[in-house]
Amino acid sequence: MRMLRVGRWITAIALLLLVGVYVRALVFTPVERMQGLAQKIYYLHVPAAIWTETAMVLVGIASVFYLFLKDPRLDRFAAASAEVGVVFAAVVLTTGPIWGKPIWGTWWSWDARLTSMLFLFLLYVGYLLLRSAVADPATRARYAAVLGICGMGLVPFIHFSVYLFRTLHPMPIILKPSAPSMPGSMVATALFSVGVFTLLYVGFVVQRYALSYLREQLEAAGEVGHA
């Protein structure tokens, strides 16, 4: 299957480039004076967060269109994007506390940004569980689309929560109307990492989409349970 091969190649290249991000962050990017080496967690945490939010918005958009068009390709894409979004959210929710411990002095704080991100993660875990619990493909896609649209509504709240509430979480450093609040070499590493996560997202989604398609074929032939 051509799509699967393409997805695997993109993923393999993206994982190699991720090693490049690590090397660039460790060797060619200056150490921040106040935070020390822990600041370099930023180059993994922030791109993963950007693509978690983007993945969930894309789930919501595909879900809206699915409810109007009933095209199974949109449902397949939404399922793929949701699963990849959950994986990226897991990266965000593990690297964040590891940065928080040396910088804040605590692993976790129940503030608006952290709590809403955890809620988004759990909501999409629920989305995936819902998909595996409903047997009828049309019903499954419709229920999942409604939940996917609800999840999309949470994303702007997460992004703007640092402005709306008093939180421990820092304000955006790159994704803001004014110029980035860090030196050019740090911005370059962060943007390189965002590019690599973009490639990872595409590679993962293409593979996951192909997997759903394969399972649907087997399901139609009555060989396996639903995806």
* Cβ neighbours for 23, distance < 8 A, ≥ 6 positions apart: none
CA distances from 137 to 60, 122, 133, 182 (A): 18, 23, 11, 48
Name residue 120's amino acid: L
Please answer whether residues 153 and 120 qualify as being in contact, where contact means their C-beta atoms are separated by less than 8 angstroms: no
Minimum CB separation of residue 98 from another protein in Å reads: 4
| DSSP symbols for 140-162 | HHHHHHHHHHHHHHHHHHHHHHH
**CA gap 89, 112 in Å, rounded:** 16
Report the residue from 63, 81, 161, 207 that binds another protein according to the rule CB under 8 A.
207
| DSSP symbols for 13-33 | HHHHHHHHHHHHHHHSSPPBT
When the beta carbons of 142 and 215 are compared against another protein, the nearer one is 215
Report the residue from 6, 13, 18, 64 that binds another protein according to the rule CB under 8 A.
18
11 binds another protein (CB under 8 A): yes
Report the residue from 9, 30, 31, 69 that binds another protein according to the rule CB under 8 A.
31
Name residue 90's amino acid: A
Minimum CB separation of residue 77 from another protein in Å reads: 15
When the beta carbons of 36 and 153 are compared against another protein, the nearer one is 36
208 binds another protein (CB under 8 A): yes
76 binds another protein (CB under 8 A): no
Minimum CB separation of residue 4 from another protein in Å reads: 6
Helix 42-69 to helix 184-220 angle (10° resolution) is: 40
**Residue numbers 93-122 binding another protein by CB under 8 A:** 94-95, 98-99, 101-102
Residues that bind another protein (CB under 8 A): 1, 4, 7-8, 11, 15, 18, 22, 31, 33-38, 40-41, 44-45, 48, 84, 87, 90-91, 94-95, 98-99, 101-102, 200, 203-204, 207-208, 210-211, 214-215, 218, 224
